[in-house]
Amino acid sequence: MSPASLLTPAFFRLARTRSASLSRNIESLAPDLVHSLKQENNSVLSLSTDDNYIYSGSQSEHISVWDIRTYSLKTQLIGHTGSVLALEYAADKRWLFSSSGDSTVRVWCTTTLRPLYVINPYLETDSGDLFSMAWSSTYKTIYFGCQNTSIQWYSFPDSAPPLSSVSGTSTPTGAAKKVHKFFDSYPRSQRKPADIFASNAATPPVLDQELCAVVDVPPSNVIDSAHYGYVYCMALSPSIRDGSDDVPGSREEQLVTGSGDESIKVWRCTVDGLELLDTVDCTHGAVLSLVTRGDVLYAGCQDGYVKVWDLQTNTLIRTIIVQENVDILSLSMLHTDLYTFSANGQIQRYSETFDCTASWHGHNGIVLSSVVSRGQANDFTLITGGNDDTIRVWGVRPPDSEYGNDSHCSDVVDASGFKAPDDILIYALTKFVSIRSVSSSVELREDCRQAAIWLSKCLHQLGANSKPLYAGDTNQQNPIVFATFQGTQTEKRRPRILFYGHYDVISAPPEGWDTDPFHLTARNGFLYGRGVSDDKGPVLAVACAAAELLQQRMLGVDLIFLIEGEEETGSVGFEEMVRKHKDLIGEVDAILVSNSGWIACNAPSITYGLRGVVHCNVEIMSQCKDAHSGVDGGAVVEPMQDMIQLLATLSDKDRKVLIPGFYDDVRPRTEQETEAFKLIEAATNNTAESLAARWREPSLTVHNILGSGPRNPTVIPATVTAQVSLRIVPDQSLETVSSTLTRYIKQSFAELHSPNALKVSVDHTVDWWLGNLEHPYFKALESAIRDEWQVNPLRVREGGSIPCVPFLEKEFACPALHLPMGQSTDQAHLANEHLSLVNLRAGKSVVKRFLLAVADAESATAS
């Protein structure tokens, strides 16, 4: 079970959220499920990895290439005309080998992701399906096992010749295969001649437009009848795969092969080919998987046994009964840990002493393939594929690492420093999202308080001084989380940056969600869950950025956190709380906010403006009760008709606001602004005029009209209410617009000469905000975005309002900066809210760059 699946029943939920430890749950025996990838309608038959990609072969002819950091689909390698049965990575060449049911081995460049060679087995399709492969970097040789029971190999020279010189010619990679009378035959009852559609090729061969060299295995490189069954698996010893602790070149290289004939054969690898050293009998069904460590060989068998052999003495050391009569289709090693993968979807881990140290259900079906991958930070992942069309990535650690034997029970943060920063961010976000901090719900008020407590403790564990700040009545107002990451102590003054965010979220009815909104789910490069984009993900990204700099002794600023719990309900009481604790907060040089998304999916942005808002409630009341239109219609002055006429006086048919003087103070558009709109127009297909209407022009909206009484077409409501809002822009005065709106509505109603009564109230206001594009801090943030994404960010404004941005800017007399972290399609406030892993990690990196730049600038100024 992964941390993302630790959601408990409601009875236990509050007790669970009080635990804010960032350490793994020691009760769980399964490693963390880092990510899941979906190959629609395609079983994952084979897997391989390099530093950049996960390669997956499936029942279709194509090889999917997934980015190993973002888990997004990079491309597909197209060329095979049959199922991709095995993949093998040659790190020394940066080649990927693929073998298929089309009786070819193909070689791909993992740098360019283009085809290099097609290797035809001896006698071409007589070999049938090519089930297994192994690459020897010592002999620059690819070995492969065939359906016709042969083992074949092809050796490359140390310096490969130009493609055009190999085999004399170059031919298309999609050249049609020949028909084999056995492997491509139909059942005798059908009385049809053999053809390529009978078994191996489900679709006609496709001519690939790219050309690559075609080479043939010579007759000397074939061992016919190497086994008396299909050669399902093979492995080299010593192993050079990721996860192996073998020392390359420590002894002579051997090839081990397993077959459907229940036997294992050990071959000595030489420059001239293979020499048979020994044969052992497994007696427990076909040998379906092999893996080696040192002189020890593990063989996964058809009936659920793993046979453990000493290759030095060819002695059976141990038989592990994984699950009887359940095929073991794949094996992987991580140092001394053995991982077994069974046909019922079960994954198990065994120690060097053959004890089962973990067991979990990995796939909803058969686990067909697996591979261990070493990350850039020397961490490991276990990648598995199944016939449920899913690739799953599990976080694993070797038993002899500093983390201990069980990856699930190691501390994420401890006195020795950081242990995989991205893991901290995502794991913490898993816990944060699981707390239902819906500020609009009275029933979830305690959850909001628990979210504040959890976040405060989380920030404390990451290195900040932290505590929740409570109002006088804690039942009426959610606490604010206050924390400070103190920078490196120097004689010079450190800049003080205040980061504002919020831990509350809007409600998340399950309708429309593909997964539980309060259960963080990773899928195809995105994290799904309520609040993951707005605003829990950005809050933790900024916190982890500060924590990493702090651990690296590179935090040259004081970063202050003010994270409120009422943003989604109008920031009730926030201003009073800030003023009350202003001495505690101290002096502030800049305010950083991350509470919005880019204007487009692939257009990094920086926000420099927000519109303000005036929310007004209008109510018209009759002295009579609700009436019947058939009885009193025409005899009474109806409040609904008054309301319609009154609202009609607020704007004309062109949607121009008719309130006197409304446009008088609107700041004219500058040339710089016009040019910025043109850049955005070109990047997003939004017209400059539509952008201006949304961002920098004021507007009026009538949100609803509600009548009293039953909602049926015969009722004349005695009371009618309407909600109206005005969006305001620079340089309109919030107070002036509010008072003018109220006065104009009263005047317009008086001109109706209605006997009904009017009540007008301005219930909520937020001022507009416009950033200073020339301020050094703005330029530092803009440069940080540019350096991270390698493009100039679009300068954008927002049509909406964030109440605390203009307030904090005025209260602390310093500039505010707004860093959008998500994409335009994040679905914030909607079902299936999500955030890209790329954006989350890049957002953290942008914040680190910005904080470093601010500290460097301050240091340069001081000197």
* Catalytic residue IDs: 504, 567
Angle, CA 555 vertex, CA 554 and CA 560 arms, to 5°: 170
The 3-state secondary structure of 407-445 reads HHHCCCEECCEECCHHHHHHHHHHHHHHCCCECCCCCCH
CA dist 605 and 771 (Å) reads 14
344: number of CA atoms within 13 Å, CB side?
A: 13
The strands making up 141-146's β-sheet, listed across from edge to edge, are 130-136, 141-146, 151-155, 222-223
Quick check: 279 and 256 in contact, CB under 8 A? no
**Between the CA of residue 823 and those of 517, 584, 599, 605, 843, what are the distances in Å?**
19, 35, 7, 9, 11
Residue 802 CB partners (closer than 8 Å, separation 6+): 567, 593, 595, 596, 610, 766, 769
Residue identified by tokens 């020795």 is 416
Burial of 276 (0-12, 13-18, 19+ CB in 10 A): exposed
Within 10 angstroms of residue 618's Cβ, the number of other Cβ atoms is 23
- Please report, in angstroms and rounded to a whole number, the separation of the first and last CA atoms in the chain: 54
Quick check: 53 and 37 in contact, CB under 8 A? no
CA dist 356 and 347 (Å) reads 11
**Between the CA of residue 681 and those of 686, 785, 797, what are the distances in Å?**
5, 20, 13
User: What ranges make up the beta strands (E) of 629-781?
Assistant: 699-707, 715-716, 719-728, 757-766, 769-770
Structure tokens at 476: 């009426």
CA dist 520 and 428 (Å) reads 10
Residue 488 CB partners (closer than 8 Å, separation 6+): 494, 553, 554, 555, 556
Kindly compute the dihedral angle of the four CA atoms of residues 748, 749, 750, 752, in this order, to the nearest 10 degrees: 100
Of the candidates 252, 259, 244, the residue with the CA atom closest to the CA atom of residue 291: 244
Quick check: 383 and 39 in contact, CB under 8 A? no
Quick check: 76 and 61 in contact, CB under 8 A? no
**What are the backbone dihedrals phi and psi of residue 28, each rounded to the nearest 5 degrees, phi first?**
-90, 130
| Coil, strand or helix at 310 | strand
Quick check: 471 and 482 in contact, CB under 8 A? no
Sign of CA dihedral 840, 842, 843, 844: positive
Within 10 angstroms of residue 72's Cβ, the number of other Cβ atoms is 14
Give the burial string for 695-713 (b: 16+ CB within 10 Å, else e).
bbbbbbeeeebebbeeeee
CA dist 340 and 327 (Å) reads 10
Structure tokens at 855: 């500290």
Instruction: Report the chain's C-alpha Rg in angstroms.
Output: 34
Within 10 angstroms of residue 782's Cβ, the number of other Cβ atoms is 20
Quick check: 794 and 605 in contact, CB under 8 A? yes
Structure tokens at 439: 């500020």
Peptide bond into 31 cis (omega under 30): no
Beta-sheet pairing, 63-67 with 73-77 = antiparallel
